[in-house]
Amino acid sequence: MTMSQGRIGWIDEFKGFVLLLVCLYHVEQSFPCASMGMLHLSALRMSAFFFISGVLFSTRRFRNFGSYAAHKTKVLLWPYVALSLLFMLLDPVIYNFDLFPKAPRMTIMNIRPEIANVKDYIGWNAAKIFVAGKSSIGSGPLWFVFTLYSVSLIFYLVQKMAGKAKRVARVVVAAVAVVALAAGWLLSQKHMRYPLGLERDLTVLFFFACGWLSRDAIKKFGRAHAVVVAAVAAVSFALYAYFEVPNPNFSIMNNDLGKSFVGFFASSVSGIVGLVALFQLLSRVPNVAPVRIFKGILRNISRNALVILAVHWWILLVMRLLFKPEINRPGIAYLSILVVVAGVIGAIPLFRCKLYKLLGKERISVHESLSIK
């Protein structure tokens, strides 16, 4: 199976694992007593997601830019807008403004808005969705959907500009990637913010392009001896541990990349290589029951990413607004994970069977939506 002909097991598992790390980070962010060391994985989570999205990039099914853009608008832009507005309307602050001091702070293009009432809150949430491209407070993690939409369209144009000659195209794409990374880093250091997240698009474009450039190498690596794959994984994660510096302000969403370019670049790249090697290795493990179940759960997370990212965040938001003092206690804080899991499991069939149009997807059965096969 090639990377453009259908779903690839280990890539779905890779994506599901990264999205699981995102969810666990948000648990830890909401309730610090649920300490899981997620801060140490900040440098690889979203960079790895955009890298693997670049690996999967394909235009074979589309005649031109218009047809490609129409498809991405249906499966990415529409869900971003629809879910952002839905979960904005489900935000408890709208119905009880006394909760506002407990809500996550808004920053829109370096502006910390003065919010005095519900009308202000709704207005700035709308600006967050449509101007900053960062989704509403009620569905914060969906910023990545809008960014993936933007970068996919940009990369389509870059690829077409590069031409059909494979060697030349790779050189052009590599050059664009380097320039994009340099520009993204410069804007990060100057704390510049632009409408629709242009500054983070530049940073993300680098990882997306690297994924596309790495496809042949990944295919060849997949045929390497298991010992070689395991060694690459071990060395890569050792390098990640060496270069990674936990930084609570690090954020691809805000294009806040830290103070050390070497640290940012080396930790991101080594983390991505380590994850690729790890999941290539996992694909060779005998499919005994525990492994099969674990892989199936990760594939389900990948297939239901839109629902899981929006719903898990909303559940955590409600809990932190209403019950944070009671939940954020040693030992008890970890129970929030069970609440999130239960809520997400209930939400998946609701969205995939009833509210599927909000996701730009076709309706499927409850069994299929929860399947871990």
pLDDT, tens digit, for every residue of 158-185? 999 998 888 999 999 999 999 999 999 9
Mean pLDDT, residues 97-121: 94
Rounded distance, CA 56 to CA 70, Å? 18
pLDDT band at 7 (very low <50, low <70, confident <90, very high): low
Closest CA to 25 of 41, 46, 43, 14: 41
Rounded distance, CA 102 to CA 221, Å? 48
Cα-to-chain-centroid distance, residue 63: 28
Rounded distance, CA 229 to CA 224, Å? 7
Supply the DSSP symbol for 328. S
- Helices 166-189 and 261-282 pack at an angle, to 10 degrees, of 130
pLDDT, tens digit, for every residue of 179-217? 999 999 999 999 999 999 999 999 999 999 999 999 999
Mean of per-residue pLDDT scores for the chain: 94
pLDDT, tens digit, for every residue of 137-166? 999 999 999 999 999 999 999 999 998 888
Segments making up each domain of the chain, as ranges: 9-369
User: Contact 337/315 with Cβ under 8 angstroms?
Assistant: no
**Residue 4: per-residue pLDDT:** 41
Give percent of the chain with pLDDT exceeding 90.
Answer: 90
What's the burial of 272, exposed, middle or buried (CB within 10 Å: 0-12/13-18/19+)?
A: buried
User: Contact 43/250 with Cβ under 8 angstroms?
Assistant: yes
Distances from the Cα of 208 to the Cα of 50, 110, 202, angstroms: 5, 26, 10
For the chain, first and last CA: distance in Å? 18
Bigger pLDDT: 12 or 9? 12
Phi, psi of 253 (to 5 degrees): -55, -45
User: Contact 28/35 with Cβ under 8 angstroms?
Assistant: yes
Mean pLDDT, residues 267-273: 97
Rounded distance, CA 304 to CA 366, Å? 12
Q: Going along 226-364, which residue ranges are E strands?
A: none
Closest CA to 174 of 133, 143, 217: 217
C-alpha R_g of the chain: 20
pLDDT band at 60 (very low <50, low <70, confident <90, very high): confident
User: Contact 88/115 with Cβ under 8 angstroms?
Assistant: no
